[in-house]
């Protein structure tokens, strides 16, 4: 949360302090996984893997929609003690993920300017999607930059010891 705000939050953000904080914490990572699955799907050759990924993607999309809907309902509530709305928190988290991913806009908070919303008319943004209403894809490199805090080959942030999956390890070795 500090990185999303560009400063140290005082007191430190506690995801367990209340239900709003918990929802905001839940918003931080799952969407990154969803965009990674969208990005990976076209590269899959094996039908079994395609089926598994499709099943996981369905669950991830549903999970993200629930978190986003709950946060959207609370969009104007001030997050205590920071005096920042829930909508602003989601915007800052999404902006951070876009900055870390370094591949343009692939993430949006739960409120956007109407020109960026559905059909260029709606500011509510429960489903984050591109102008064609399709989920944004992210590459392995983008995902690693986000979960490592900026550098795809240097562990940090959510994985200070690095991810132990084959793709993450092979990418780190290749770069």
Domain ranges of the chain: 2-138, 150-175
Q: Indicate if the pLDDT at residue 175 is higher than 70.
A: no
Q: Indicate if the pLDDT at residue 56 is higher than 70.
A: yes
Q: Could you tell me the CA-to-CA distances from 150 to 12, 24, 65, 144, 170 in Å, in that order?
A: 21, 21, 26, 8, 18
For position 172, what pLDDT does the model report?
64
Q: Indicate if the pLDDT at residue 7 is higher than 90.
A: yes
Structure confidence by residue, pLDDT tens digits, 96-149? 999 999 998 899 999 988 888 777 888 888 888 887 888 899 998 999 999 888
For position 121, what pLDDT does the model report?
82
Provide the whole-model pTM: 0.89
Q: Indicate if the pLDDT at residue 173 is higher than 60.
A: no
4 neighbors 95 (Cβ within 8 angstroms)? yes
């Amino acid at each position: 949360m500090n990185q999303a705000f560009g400063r140290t939050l005082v007191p430190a953000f506690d995801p367990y302090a209340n239900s709003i904080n918990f929802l905001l914490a839940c918003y931080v990572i799952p969407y990154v996984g969803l965009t990674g699955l969208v990005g990976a799907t076209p590269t899959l050759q094996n039908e079994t893997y395609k089926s598994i990924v499709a099943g996981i993607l369905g669950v991830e999309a549903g999970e993200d929609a629930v978190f986003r809907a709950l946060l959207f309902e609370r969009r104007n509530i001030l997050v205590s003690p920071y005096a920042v709305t829930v909508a602003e928190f989601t915007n800052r988290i999404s902006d951070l993920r876009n900055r870390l991913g370094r591949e343009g806009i692939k993430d949006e908070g739960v409120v956007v300017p109407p020109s960026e919303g559905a059909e260029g008319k709606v500011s509510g943004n429960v489903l984050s999607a591109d102008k064609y209403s399709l989920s944004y894809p992210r590459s392995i490199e983008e995902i690693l930059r986000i979960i490592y805090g900026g550098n795809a080959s240097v562990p940090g942030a959510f994985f200070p010891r690095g991810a132990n999956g084959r793709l993450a390890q092979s990418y780190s070795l290749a770069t």
